[in-house]
Every structure is written in structure tokens, then in C-alpha cells.
Amino acid sequence: MNAPDSLAELTRRLDALARIGLVAPEGLGPGPFFRALRPPRGPAANHATLIVTPGAPLGLLNRPEEAASRLLDLPAAVLERLRAGAGIVAFDGASEGRPLVATHVAALHGALDRAGIPPHRAAWLQQNRALGPRYAAFCVERGLAPMHIVTTDSYGFLLWDRLFGRLRPPWGWGFALTEAPRRHRWICLNYVLRPHRALIADWLMARPEPGHLSLSTQREAMDAAARARFLADAERLEAGSTGRVAALLGSGLHLGGDTDGFGHPQERVMSLPVPELAAAELFIVTETEMSGGGLLRWTEKTLKAIACGLPFIVFGNPQTVAGLEALGFDLLRDLIDHGYDAEPNPARRFAAAQASVARFLARPAGFTPREMERLRVASAHNREVFAREILRVSALDPLDRLFAMMRGA
């Protein structure tokens, strides 16, 4: 399935969705998955069936009593139609993914109980591919009837939509594979400051190779307790790092990169510093998480690295590379040692990814003609995989799961 075929498949799903009434609670609105889809909408009363699409951000799920009262705060007529089986609930947290947290389960089940909706008529949309089995076991242990777990990624879909779909492309596929001189041996882009990002940035700044770094210690204020937790988390990743990380936090460093001055977070999510990447050799991706367990997800950060065409190394969750390779991506194992990806222990995975970066930087600077041809072949292959598979896992499969729920399958 090529890019035009993929768009036709999306259009077919959206046409089916247009025949279903979409309803969101007052004050919450639809969640990120349904906002990203931008389906045609008419009055819910004109449709025989409904999908209730409350946004379910983690910040709200962390407050289960409030969540239970707000997530399904709907008109009585809508609730009656749901109770009669004329629709489903799609709790939409598709821009986030976390391990199983009992508080989050309590929030969602509490909302269903309060509204009188059976859990088999509800789905939890989120990014963590490892959540389903853990949630099912939790429900058995607690004697709960389970909801459906639907894995999706609203940001991954938005990136697909910009590169292959209905929106304006932010940049061209494989744009970094030019013949321009490589001024940067590496590039590492960071927005929210996290312990693994502080550690890798400190290490890169101390290395002799030229590179491009974006990182800021000024965007978020930390109180004493938050600073202590940050330093402790960094120490667990790299023993003996506390002093160096504390010095970095106190330095006031601000390397804002291309994200400074953006008016909306979505601009940052889709952005890349195109001239800097086109002058770089290695993309060092620092994913959202590095230390947690019970997670299997990647974000748009890694997907953007695939799209630009450069070799990359991921500081993130285990099995990120393996999961993307399972979709069909060629992630250049002949040029990059991705052995770190299989390591479950966060500290050992961090050290192994760091060693992989060092091995890449020890090679002669630049790309040989044969290496550049290898990168271009991989990029062309990955373009077809992205057009097909990222749309499938982020939009088509989730929609098909919801349609099957509507049919009672």
C-alpha cells in the first residue's frame, strides 16, 4: 500500500466515522486522537449510533474522583442511548502512554460506574503497547470487568498526515541526505529537561567532536524536592553523576534551538532544525522515558529521526528499535550498533547506548559514497513503510477496533 492508497484507506474510515455521532463532555472536549482525525461532524442526534470521545489526559486521571465526575458528564439523553447499547465510550489519551497505574484504572472505571456504562462498551486509547496484558491481569486480580485497550498515537498520525496526507508537509522526506558538508558529527534535540537528557547532554558537551545540541535548564522551575528527585534519578542511571548534573542544573544553560518562540506545542512536536540536521551525521534521539518499566512505546521524536534519513541511536524504552523493525523499518544495523535496545535494565541500557554513540563517533568523519547510497536506499524503503504502517498502527487499526466494538464483535 503506497501513500495514495493509504490516504484512500483513511478516507474510507473517515466516511464510516461520519455516519456515527461523536459526542464529548462539556469542559473536556474530544481527545487528541479524534482531534487529529478531524472527521466530518454533524449533530449527534441525527445519528443512530454514538462514540463518546472524552479527552483523558494523565493529569486528570491522576485525580480519580474528579475524573469520575467529569469524563462522562453528558446530557441525560446521551447517557440513556449509551446504556441502551446505541454507542460506545472511547477514553482518549492517545497523545500519552504510561505503565499501568491503579489510580488511572480507578478514574476510568469510576466514570463508567457513575454513568452506568458497562466496561465492555468502553475503550482506553493510549500509546503503551505493553498496557493491554498488564491491565487484563489487573482486572482479573481485582475482579473487574475489563475495558478494551486500543493502542494508538495521535502525534504519530499527525506526522503521517503532514508527510503523506491532508496537511502541509513540515519538511521533505529524507531531507538530511544531501551532499552538503557535515559540520556536526552529532545532533541531539531536547525540550523538556529529564535526567537521561541532562546526562547525555553533559557528556556530549565534554566530547571533542563538533555537534548541535538543544537543551534548556530554564524552562521549568524545580523546587528542592523536585531537584532532589531529578538528581536521584540521574544517579540511578549513571553512578557518580550527581555533582555534574547539579552543576548543569545550576548553570542556567539555554540552547533553545528551533523551538524557541513557538506559539503552540504542536509546532514544536512537528518541528526539526532542517539546516542543522542536513549538516549532521548522527541523530541522538532522547525519548520521553528512559527509566520506567512496563512501557513499550515510541513517540514522534523517533519517527522524525526515521523521516530525516540519518542514522540514529535512541535513549529510550527497551525494544523501541525492535518494535519499529517489526513494522518493516530498516534501521541500519550495519552502520549502528543497536544492541542497547534489548537491555531491560535502564542504567545498563543508557551505558550501552552511550557506548554505541562513542563507537559511531570514532569512525572517520562524514559518509563515504557507498554509505550515502546505503542511507538513501534505506530512506526510500522507510518512506514506503512509514506511509503504510504508521497510518495503520496509529489510525486505521484503532478505528477498526472501535468499529468492531460498535458491532458488538
d(C-alpha 381, C-alpha 330), whole Å: 7
pLDDT at 12 over 80: yes
d(C-alpha 344, C-alpha 293), whole Å: 8
d(C-alpha 22, C-alpha 40), whole Å: 10
Confidence of residue 292 (pLDDT cuts 50, 70, 90): confident
What are the grid coordinates assigned to 210, written together?
563538533
Contact 17, 39 (CB under 8 A): yes
pLDDT at 45 over 60: no
Considering only residues 291 and 183, tell me which one the structure prediction assigns the higher pLDDT: 183
Q: What is the pLDDT of residues 218-236, one digit of tens each?
A: 888 899 999 999 999 999 9
Q: What pLDDT, on the 0 to 100 scale, is given for residue 293?
A: 85
Closest CA to 392 of 379, 401, 380, 404: 401
Q: What pLDDT, on the 0 to 100 scale, is given for residue 38?
A: 86
Q: Which residues of 266-284 are buried (b: 16+ CB within 10 A; e: fewer)?
A: eeebbbbbeebbbbbbbbb
Strand partners, 22: 51
Strand partners, 212: 187
Confidence of residue 41 (pLDDT cuts 50, 70, 90): low
Q: What pLDDT, on the 0 to 100 scale, is given for residue 266?
A: 62
d(C-alpha 389, C-alpha 199), whole Å: 33
Q: What pLDDT, on the 0 to 100 scale, is given for residue 405?
A: 95
Instruction: With residue 9 as reference, give the H or E element that holds it.
Output: helix 3-17
Confidence of residue 47 (pLDDT cuts 50, 70, 90): confident
pLDDT at 40 over 80: no
CATH architecture, domain defined by 168-385: 3-Layer(aba) Sandwich (3.40)
Rg (CA), the chain: 22
d(C-alpha 135, C-alpha 141), whole Å: 10
Q: What pLDDT, on the 0 to 100 scale, is given for residue 367?
A: 96
Closest CA to 303 of 375, 213, 383: 383
Strand partners, 23: 52
The residue type at 154:
S
Q: What is the pLDDT of residues 307-366, one digit of tens each?
A: 999 999 999 999 999 999 999 999 999 999 999 999 999 999 999 999 999 999 999 999
Contact 316, 284 (CB under 8 A): no
Contacts of 98 (CB under 8 A, 6+ apart): 58, 104, 126, 128, 292, 295
**Residue 37 to residues 169, 356, 373: CA-CA distances in angstroms?**
16, 38, 36
Q: What pLDDT, on the 0 to 100 scale, is given for residue 46?
A: 58
Contact 284, 187 (CB under 8 A): yes
Q: What is the pLDDT of residues 356-401, one digit of tens each?
A: 999 999 999 999 999 999 999 999 999 999 999 999 999 999 999 9
What are the grid coordinates assigned to 205, written together?
558537551
Place of cell 475489563: 146
What secondary structure letter does DSSP report for 96? -
Closest CA to 2 of 400, 390, 385: 385
Instruction: With residue 186 as reference, give the H or E element that holds it.
Output: strand 184-189
Q: What pLDDT, on the 0 to 100 scale, is given for residue 44?
A: 59
366 dihedral zone (left: phi>0; alpha: psi -120 to 50; beta): left
> Structural domain boundaries of the chain?
3-152, 168-385
Average pLDDT over residues 119-141: 97
Q: What is the pLDDT of residues 148-202, one digit of tens each?
A: 999 999 999 999 999 999 888 889 999 999 988 999 999 999 988 999 999 999 9
Closest CA to 133 of 298, 319, 295: 295
